[in-house]
Structure 1
Amino acid sequence: MANAAFEELVEDFEFLDDWEDRYRHVIDQGKSMDALEEALRVPATKVDGCASQVWLHAQVEDGKLHFDGASDAMIVSGLIAVLRTLYNGLTPAEVLAVDARAEMGRLGLNDHLSAQRSNGLTAMIERVRETAAAVK
């Protein structure tokens, strides 16, 4: 149940033959995000369970969720960008219907993240889902 922007990202990843290229593409996704304002890097937006510093900020606009985020690690910033692509513009109910693990698997990410990064990704997905449930 991915949106059009995520489907485009999946297509981009299909052209990348090896994990190194995919890893670089994830990092590039993070570099292309706008910086999260320092005022939003507060305990309320901090995601626990990540080895890196991670902040996720959500806004609701016209009944749809929009997420911004930041991390002190390049790969994690990239994962935030990928999650933004997956979730931004969806209603809370649509966010809750997304099988994020399966969608991330389509990018070939599940098999190549360290256990720590995988745990952090799970924590970020859970934060997004909690936010959607609270708004719904």
Structure 2
Amino acid sequence: MESLPAPSIPSIDEIIDNFSLLEEWDDRYRYVIELGRGMSPLSESQRTEVNKVQGCASQVWLATIVSLADNRPFLTFHGDSDAHIVRGLVAILLSAVSGKQASEILAADPIALFDRLGLGEHLTPQRSNGFRSMVGRIRNDARDALADGA
């Protein structure tokens, strides 16, 4: 499997802190777009049907690498989208879950994070549903990694 460059996005704690400093939603939208621009794009060879997230209005791809440490599966994700805001949402999600143990990913609640940041009430229902589809895909990959014993 082709290795992926590490996304260059801030930690989820830094993202949360930065969101709290931005009072206007226009500034928050710009920040979300900036987060997306900070990610390395997926190569064309990784923009496959297998990596494509179903249920998103925009095109979204998530590539997953599973590795073992102490016999526990860890998942690293790399993603991309053809829409600027969605690419930023991918960055936020990956900041929260990438590089973690499969069990930690399954215990996390990215939807609650999404709501905590106020994204649910400020994005279109299509984008909110797309975010949920991305979360579902990541959870499925984590479940599969645990079932496979990676």
Query: What TM-score does the superposition give when structure 2 sets the normalisation length?
Result: 0.85
Matched, 1:131 2:141: yes
Residues 23-102 of structure 1 aligned to structure 2 (within 5 Å): 23-61=29-67, 62=69, 63-102=73-112
The CA distance in 2 between the partners of 1:23 and 1:98, in whole Å, is: 24
Structure 2 alignment gaps of length 5 or more: 1-9
SS of match in other structure, 1:67: strand
Matches of 1:65 and 1:120, distance apart in 2: 21
Please, which runs of 5 or more residues in structure 1 have no aligned partner? none
- Report the alpha carbon displacement of residue 119 of structure 1 after superposing the two structures with TM: 0.8
State the alpha-carbon separation in 2 of the partners of residues 43 and 13 from structure 1. Answer: 33
Mapped partners of 2:116, 2:100: distance in 1: 19
Query: Deviation per CA, 1:43-72, whole angstroms, max 9, x where unpaired?
Result: 100011111111101112343211111111
Percent identity between matched residues is 44
Aligned residues: 133
Mean alpha-carbon deviation: is it higher for 111-120 or for 101-110? Answer: 101-110
Cα separation, 1, equivalents of 2:65 and 2:54? 20
Q: CA deviation at 1:115?
A: 0.6
State TM-score, norm by structure 1: 0.93
Provide the secondary structure at the position in 1 that maps to 2:22.
coil
Partner of 2:117: 107
